[in-house]
Amino acid sequence: NGHQEVSYDSLSLKNDAEMLEQIKQLLHENNNLKETMKQMNQGMKERLEELLKRHNQRLVDLNSENELLRKELHS
C-alpha cells in the first residue's frame, strides 16, 4: 500500500528525544529570562533607592530653608 512501517518503539523514542530536547531548550530559555528579570529588578531597585535618597535629601533641604524663612519672619 506504499506506507512505510515504522515501529512504535522507534517512533516513540524519536518523539521522546525531540520532546526532551524541547524541554531542555525551554528550561534554558526560562533560566535566561529569570536571570534577565533578576538583573532588571536589581537595576530598578538601585534606581529607586537613588531617587528616594535624593528625594529625602530634598525634603531635608526644604525643611531647613523653611525653618530659616520662619526665623526671618519672626525677627
The answer to whether residue 24 is domain-embedded is yes
Tell whether the model's pLDDT for residue 70 goes beyond 80.
yes
Is residue 45 included in any domain, yes or no?
yes
Domain-embedded: residue 15 = yes
With respect to residue 37, please indicate whether it lies within any of the assigned structural domains.
yes
The confidence score (pLDDT) of residue 22 equals 92
Is 4 among the domain residues?
no
Residue 51 lies inside a defined structural domain of this protein: yes
The better pLDDT of the pair 41, 14 is held by 41
- In which domain, by residue range, is 55 found? 10-74
**Above 60 in pLDDT, residue 1?**
no
pLDDT at 9: 65
Q: How many domains does the chain have?
A: 1
* Residue 1 forms part of a structural domain: no
From CA 39, how far away is CA 33, in angstroms rounded?
10
- Model confidence at 14: pLDDT above 80: no
Identity at 16, one-letter amino acid code: D
